[in-house]
């Protein structure tokens, strides 16, 4: 494996870094209280990746088994215990544990514990997941057709 072709062709570097302080408020707060932080949105990374921190409330649940056709998804546990589905089984992942899910890989995650939990979620390449996180809590208010269209638009395919 080698480095990709250069994408910066100048002879000097540029001032173009993006800083986001840890004190930045959550971008989305679900009705249950789970907070999602858009650490690095697909817009801010030019589509390279999307990085999100999800601070889950105790017994906050999470999405059941699903897959994506166009993006990979990775999980890095920051605090607490997050149940991760690796396509075969549910694993109680703890601080420092990591799961990489390639496109098409079955996965899910949730907080079933009595304590809060926090995880970093990385999508690559960067997809417009912000709208997904902003609106997923409203799927109960959608018609069947709207719900189906929402999940297809956001590359989310559920497993029965």
Question: Residue for token digits 């075969």?
Answer: 88
Q: Is the pTM of this model over 0.85?
A: yes
Residue 67 lies in a domain: yes
Residue 51 lies in a domain: yes
Predicted confidence at residue 151, as pLDDT, reads: 96
Task: Read off the pLDDT of each residue in 58-72 and give the average, rounded to a whole number.
Answer: 95
Residue 18 lies in a domain: no
Is the pLDDT at 114 greater than 90? The verdict is: yes
Residue 6 lies in a domain: no
Q: Which domain holds residue 82?
A: 28-158
Q: How confident is the model at residue 107 (pLDDT cuts 50, 70, 90)?
A: very high
Predicted confidence at residue 62, as pLDDT, reads: 92
Is the pLDDT at 160 greater than 90? The verdict is: no
Q: Other C-beta atoms within 10 Å of 143: how many?
A: 8
Mean of pLDDT over the chain: 95
Residue 10 lies in a domain: no
Residue 61 lies in a domain: yes
Q: In what order do the strands lie in the sheet with 81-85?
A: 90-94, 81-85, 108-110
């Amino acid at each position: 494996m080698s480095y990709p072709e250069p994408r910066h062709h100048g002879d000097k570097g540029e001032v173009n870094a993006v800083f986001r302080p840890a004190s930045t408020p959550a971008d989305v707060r679900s009705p249950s209280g789970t907070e999602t932080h858009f650490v690095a949105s697909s817009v801010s990374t030019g589509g390279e990746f999307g990085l999100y921190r999800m601070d889950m409330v105790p017994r906050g649940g999470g999405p059941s088994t699903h897959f994506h056709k166009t993006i990979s998804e990775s999980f890095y546990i920051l605090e607490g215990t997050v149940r991760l589905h690796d396509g075969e089984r549910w694993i109680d992942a703890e601080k420092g544990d990591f799961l990489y899910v390639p496109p098409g890989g079955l996965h899910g995650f949730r907080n079933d514990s009595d304590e809060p939990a926090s995880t970093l979620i990385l999508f690559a390449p960067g997809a417009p997941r912000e709208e997904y996180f902003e609106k997923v809590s409203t799927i109960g208010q959608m018609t069947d057709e709207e719900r189906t269209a929402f999940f297809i638009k956001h590359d989310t395919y559920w497993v029965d």
